[in-house]
Amino acid sequence: MRFIIKDEIRGRIRVHFMQEVMTAQQADTVEYALLQCPLVTGVKVYERSCDVAVHYEGERERMIETLRRFRYENVRPPRSYLQHSGRELNREYQDKLVASVAGHFGKKFFLPAGVRNAVIAFQAAKYIVRGVRTLLHGKLEVPVLDAAAIGGSMLRGDCGTAGSVMFLLEIGEILEEWTHKKSVGDLARSMSLNISKVWLVRDGREVLTAARSIQPGDSVRIHMGNVIPFDGVVAEGEAMVNQSSMTGESMPVRKTVDSYVYAGTVLEEGELTVCVKEVNGSSRYEKIGAMIEESEKLKSSLESKAEHLADRLVPYTFGGTILTYLLTRNVTKTISVLMVDFSCALKLAMPLSVLSAIREAGAYGLTVKGGRFLEAVAEADTIVFDKTGTLTKAEPTVKQVVSFRGETEQEVLRVAACLEEHFPHSMAKAVVEAAQRQGIEHEEMHSKVEYIVAHGISSMVEEKRVVIGSYHFVFEDEGCRIPAGAQALFHSLPAEYSHLYMAVEGELSAVICIEDPLREEAAGAVQALKELGLSKVVMMTGDSERTAHAIAERVGVDEYFSEVLPEDKARFIEQERAAGRKVLMVGDGINDSPALSAADAGIAISDGAEIAREVADIVAGSDDLYSLVTLKEISSRLMKRIRSNYGKIVGFNTALILLGVAGVLQPTASALLHNTSTIWISLNSMRNLLPEQETGPEMKFFDQ
């Protein structure tokens, strides 16, 4: 591909593709292709100008070579990626806006007055009919106000004012419809699945396989705590499935053989083998879109308040109009009042503010599933952190294996990895990766694996019962014992590591010592959150008191709780909320899911368990706790912007009404200023809340 480098800084480059036109499909293809490149961390395609901005890590020359080798014909994006990218929708409404503006000013400057007035009269009929229908339904709402303003201008012979009012109303309708559809699309995409690997059942054995290679008719096995990756029919097993993300049902649904399951729902208990029916995710996208259309999930309370306030103010506007006529007997002053209403700006600016904030959060790797969650973050005064994978790094590593029955390290890891590879937890991942580093083959040699959330795993290996998990699970729940004469070894286990206990036939077999290092930014991020208004920072972990105390001291939390169960976390959050506090929960594991659901806003770390990402209201894609600081800043600034918009809208429009009554402003001027202010406030609401980084221009040419 031939291109010009328009500007670049270290780690970011913006290029212009040497082609006259870029279609929406081509833009999606470029974006998809570049995102598959290991160097690339982010892509923004500007199809109107044929520009592409790329954020990357690594050598500049390799990035240049990747762009040079790109060819549209060599890339095959998934059908669902092209269908639901949102780019076609944006282009459609951009074209509508351009057509509306061109049509309005074209009529104004190029049509004879008589023809122009006839066209305006024809267009006015639509608004007048809509207003009459609203009245016939016994409602005094915005359409009646619009009809009265347009009808009053037409009766006075002021077609120019009527035309201007209708033009700005049309612009507002286009922006409102665009905002709604884009909001639904953005939210549906944010809730789309991002599952890279699944367990394919082949010849009775489970094989870890890339999700993109699965075809309809294949059978995949889903273990407890995982998200169901595809639509399909249950071929084997029995389970309880949480379908709340798809159907809104609050209680899990029992699924047995021949039951249909949906992609994106969560398997809470049991295990299923599913025959895949749909692999491209379109059914899930459409179901989510339909669900959002019928719900209030996008709206924050401030948005809803603005919408209701807009309708409630209409009768007062009419009352002011009638009062003005009775006091002045001046039709011009009366229509000046009628030309001004609060509803347009209130109904348009508030959703645009929230949508813009959700979009901006997305640019920082934060997926927000609704405006009300930004409001919850802004109002929050308490934040609860899980420890493992949240305050500590998401990649714990095995540092030592202590054997109590004479097995070698390799033998211990072989059995442990065989069991742990089925479950989405950072500790399990550490065991599996340790086995892989040592080249240990851990084939399926066990019976059905039972997973007890936040406790551990049990199964039969070579006809012996094996359990692996926490101290509480192995010694208290399972009643396992330490081998005779091994007490001294047990008490000498290194204190600086987290411990994973494995027992065979009721006797401790080995302890796997795992280093779970604290994130470098954890203490700084916690301090920054406190400075932004979070007065209570809590850490809750299933680890021992000793480990929890050490981490809490280093991070600087206000309170910490050790050896807690999932229900303990959720219960604590419910108690805090009952006490009147606004609570955020940050976690990454299956055991965090109840707490994520219980909080005013649950925030999942993207590298964590699929169920946590599914249940959470916000997903932090960045592997950096400072993204939470960014989220808090965006949310707080959004609430300030919305409150500021309230003041501007009410203050400015009240001033217009008073000036109209005083005779200072004519109806045309009132309408123009009112609608101009609406557009100005709306456009201002779409500006970024946080300052952007600037880049310096640098032009270079690259050929094939």
Predicted confidence (pLDDT) at residue 297 exceeds the cutoff of 60: no
> DSSP string of 251-319?
S-EEE-TT-EE-TT-EEEEEEEEEEEEE-SSHHHHHHHHHHHHTS-TT--HHHHHHHHHHHHHHHHHHH
Is 317 a member of any domain?
yes
Whether residue 570 sits in one domain with residue 672: no
Nearest to 123 by CA among 175, 178, 181, 173: 173
Residue with tokens 């892989």: 436
Alpha helix stretches (DSSP H) within 156-214: 159-190
Whether residue 657 sits in one domain with residue 581: no
Which residue did the predictor score with more confidence, 310 or 486?
A: 486
Whether residue 412 sits in one domain with residue 506: yes
Q: Which two tokens stand for residue 46?
A: 């500007």
- The per-residue pLDDT for 608 is 62
Rg (CA), the chain: 30
State the amino acid at position 280 in one-letter form: N
Is 646 a member of any domain?
yes
- The per-residue pLDDT for 184 is 64
We report the CATH number of the domain holding residue 220 as 2.70.150.10
Query: Residue 642: in which H helix or E strand, if any?
Result: helix 626-661
Mean pLDDT, rounded, for 61-86: 83
Inter-residue contact 306 to 343 (CB < 8 Å): no
100 Cβ contact partners less than 8 Å away, ≥ 6 residues apart: 167, 170, 171, 174
- The per-residue pLDDT for 703 is 43
Nearest to 429 by CA among 438, 420, 418, 441: 420
Mean pLDDT, rounded, for 445-456: 63
Inter-residue contact 482 to 490 (CB < 8 Å): yes
Q: Which two tokens stand for residue 289?
A: 């879109």
Mean pLDDT, rounded, for 526-537: 95
Whether residue 251 sits in one domain with residue 208: yes
- Exposure string for 186-203, b = 16+ CB within 10 A, e = fewer: bbbbbbbbebeebbbbee
Residue with tokens 């999930």: 297
- What pLDDT digit, counting tens, does each position of 629-672 carry? 999 999 999 999 988 888 888 888 888 888 877 778 776 677 67
Is 181 a member of any domain?
yes
**Cα gap 469→454, rounded to integer Å:** 8
**Cα gap 555→552, rounded to integer Å:** 5
Name which of 145-154, 167-176, 595-604 the model is least confident about: 167-176
Whether residue 574 sits in one domain with residue 553: yes
Is 361 a member of any domain?
no
Q: What is the mean pLDDT of the chain?
A: 82
Predicted confidence (pLDDT) at residue 704 exceeds the cutoff of 50: no
SS3 467: strand
249 pLDDT tier (thresholds 50, 70, 90): low
665 Cβ contact partners less than 8 Å away, ≥ 6 residues apart: 336, 656, 659, 673
Q: End-to-end distance of the chain based on CA atoms, in angstroms?
A: 6
Name which of 136-140, 497-501, 586-590, 607-611 the model is least confident about: 607-611
- What pLDDT digit, counting tens, does each position of 405-443 carry? 888 999 999 888 888 877 766 678 889 889 888 888 766
Domain count across the chain: 5
SS3 508: strand
Mean pLDDT, rounded, for 51-71: 92
Nearest to 543 by CA among 385, 404, 401: 385
**Cα gap 141→315, rounded to integer Å:** 8
Inter-residue contact 272 to 255 (CB < 8 Å): yes
pTM exceeding the 0.85 threshold for the entire prediction: no
Inter-residue contact 676 to 412 (CB < 8 Å): no
- What pLDDT digit, counting tens, does each position of 369-395 carry? 878 899 999 999 999 998 877 888 767
Whether residue 127 sits in one domain with residue 44: no
Whether residue 203 sits in one domain with residue 180: no
- CA distances 585 to 162, 167, 376, 572, 599, Å, are 52, 46, 11, 11, 6
Domain final residue pick, 448, 482, 515: 515
463 pLDDT tier (thresholds 50, 70, 90): confident
Whether residue 205 sits in one domain with residue 184: no
- The per-residue pLDDT for 343 is 67
Range of the domain at 548: 366-392+520-621
Is 629 a member of any domain?
no
> DSSP string of 546-604?
HHHHHHHHHHT-SEEE-S--HHHHHHHHHHHHHTT--EEEEE-SGGGHHHHHHSSEEEE
**Cα gap 361→515, rounded to integer Å:** 32
Residue with tokens 């604590």: 572
- CA distances 629 to 42, 397, 522, Å, are 21, 28, 11
Q: Which residues pair with 16 in a beta bridge?
A: 4, 51
Mean pLDDT, rounded, for 538-561: 87
Domain final residue pick, 500, 515, 530: 515
- What pLDDT digit, counting tens, does each position of 148-167 carry? 878 877 887 878 878 877 88
Predicted confidence (pLDDT) at residue 454 exceeds the cutoff of 60: no
Predicted confidence (pLDDT) at residue 701 exceeds the cutoff of 70: no
Predicted confidence (pLDDT) at residue 35 exceeds the cutoff of 80: yes
Residue with tokens 């833009």: 27
Nearest to 614 by CA among 269, 226, 284: 226
Domain final residue pick, 77, 100, 118: 77
DSSP letter (8 states) at residue 517? P
- The per-residue pLDDT for 257 is 92
Q: Count CA within 13 A, CB hemisphere, residue 111.
A: 16
Which residue did the predictor score with more confidence, 431 or 605?
A: 431
Whether residue 372 sits in one domain with residue 341: no
91 Cβ contact partners less than 8 Å away, ≥ 6 residues apart: 24, 47
Is 703 a member of any domain?
no
We report the CATH number of the domain holding residue 580 as 3.40.50.1000
**Cα gap 94→581, rounded to integer Å:** 43
Inter-residue contact 562 to 548 (CB < 8 Å): yes
- Neighbour count for residue 236 (Cβ, 10 Å): 14
Predicted confidence (pLDDT) at residue 695 exceeds the cutoff of 60: no
The share of the chain scoring above pLDDT 90, in percent, equals 29
Inter-residue contact 636 to 378 (CB < 8 Å): yes
Mean pLDDT, rounded, for 453-475: 82
609 Cβ contact partners less than 8 Å away, ≥ 6 residues apart: 225, 226, 424, 425, 588, 589, 590, 592, 593
Nearest to 266 by CA among 247, 252, 280: 252
Is 265 a member of any domain?
yes
- The per-residue pLDDT for 455 is 66
- Neighbour count for residue 520 (Cβ, 10 Å): 11
Q: Which residues pair with 587 in a beta bridge?
A: 604
Helix axes 159-190, 667-685, angle to 10 degrees: 20
**Cα gap 336→290, rounded to integer Å:** 42
Q: Could you give the maximum distance between any two Cα atoms of the chain, in Å?
A: 106
Is 694 a member of any domain?
no
- The per-residue pLDDT for 669 is 77
Whether residue 205 sits in one domain with residue 179: no
- The per-residue pLDDT for 87 is 84
SS3 256: coil
Whether residue 501 sits in one domain with residue 459: yes
Query: Residue 207: in which H helix or E strand, if any?
Result: strand 205-210
We report the CATH number of the domain holding residue 56 as 3.30.70
- The per-residue pLDDT for 694 is 37
State the amino acid at position 159 in one-letter form: C
Mean pLDDT, rounded, for 596-600: 89
Whether residue 481 sits in one domain with residue 547: no
Predicted confidence (pLDDT) at residue 283 exceeds the cutoff of 80: no
We report the CATH number of the domain holding residue 468 as 3.40.1110.10
Mean pLDDT, rounded, for 242-255: 68
Mean pLDDT, rounded, for 178-184: 68
